[in-house]
A and B are shown apart, each in its own frame.
Chain A
Amino acid sequence: MNNDRLTHKAEERRRFMTNVKSFALSGTAIALMSGMNTACAENITREQDITQDIRILNTAIAAEHEAVAAYQLGAESGLLSAGVLKVAVTFQGHHKEHIDLLASTVRTLGGVAIDAREQYHFPLNQLKQESDVLGFAAGLERGAISAYAGAIPAFGNSDLAKAAASILADEAMHWAILRQALGLDPVPGAFFS
């Protein structure tokens, strides 16, 4: 009887341990599997985020190339006085620097930065005097600010959003100075929309 009880207890213990082992194994397997799935999902999401960031960066690069070309047009127009020409060339240099930063970021992310287009559509027939060129440049800068403001929340990477905000601030300074040169209120409001 005692032997029977002992045997029974040993059997119960064995069964319990087996169950625990199988449970532990199942738990590890589940943890591993779910861990792997999460990692895979994270990688896919991360890859999608990076691909999207590259596309957004390339869109910004395209707009910056357009700005460089526009300032080149202004600089070569013969319509700008020496002082304004100097400012225009400085602003153009900033846009070139934006391209360099954005393009190197695209490359770091594993993408290919887009090149400038061979031709841009500019309203040449509307540029007859210095103020026309300034107004045209101000419009481009204004648009660029909006583009960055609209793009920043779309970045998956907060460092990219921070860099874009820094560029946006630079474009906003360009816009304010161009407006000042046009005799307009350089900062027309507390908020930009």
Chain B
Amino acid sequence: MRLSYRLAVALLCCFGMQHSSHSGAVDNVAAGERLYVQCTGCHAPGYHRTGPKHCNILGRRAGIATAFSYTPAMQQANVIWDKASLDQFLISPLDMIPGNSMGFAGITSARERLQLIAFLATLTSDHPLCR
């Protein structure tokens, strides 16, 4: 009896944690989508503007999106965009890749960077904004 009670509590906790973790991830994506508005002066998910498009950015090498004219600095950056490199870049784009043309001072809040990257990670080919 005591054992099954403990088991039940453990299962509930586990489910609760999973639910909470999933809900946190969803919250981060939603918050990141709101933050993405800051990027829309120059970027769009699905097409190039002043800056390159963001669809499928995760896993992409920096400076290689087709039909976009990158600075030599970005072309030679030798960076693969993953969550860690994006986080580093968003702290201060001009410090991480000097000579790139992203005239943006950076995002100081680690939480906001995490949220923005969480949204960027959803911009895969099956995302409505990328179709």
Interface of A is mostly: helix
In the complex, residue of chain A having the shortest beta-carbon distance to the beta carbon of B112: A193
* Cα(A143)–Cα(B99), bound, Å: 23
In the complex, whether A144 has a CB less than 8 A from a CB of chain B is yes
A121 is contacted by which of B49, B71, B103 (Cβ under 8 Å)? Answer: B49
Contact A144 B103 (CB under 8 A): no
Q: Chain A interface residue count: which class?
A: 20 to 34
B interface list, Cβ under 8 A from A: 37-42, 44, 47-50, 71, 94, 98-105
Contacts of B39 in A (CB 8 A): 143, 146
Note all chain B residues with C-beta closer than 8 A to A148.
41
Residue-wise interface mask of A (52-94) relative to B, using a CB-CB cutoff of 8 A (1 in contact, 0 not) = 1001111110110010000000000000000000000000000
Annotate A140-177 by CB proximity to B: 1 below 8 A, 0 otherwise.
00111111111111100000000000000000000000
Which residues of chain A come closer than 8 Å to B101, judged between CB atoms?
55-56, 58-59
User: Can you offer 26 A-B residue contacts whose CB atoms are under 8 A?
Assistant: A48-B98, A51-B99, A52-B94, A58-B101, A59-B42, A59-B103, A66-B49, A121-B44, A121-B48, A121-B49, A139-B40, A142-B37, A142-B40, A144-B41, A145-B41, A146-B39, A146-B40, A150-B41, A150-B104, A151-B103, A151-B105, A154-B94, A154-B103, A154-B104, A154-B105, A193-B38
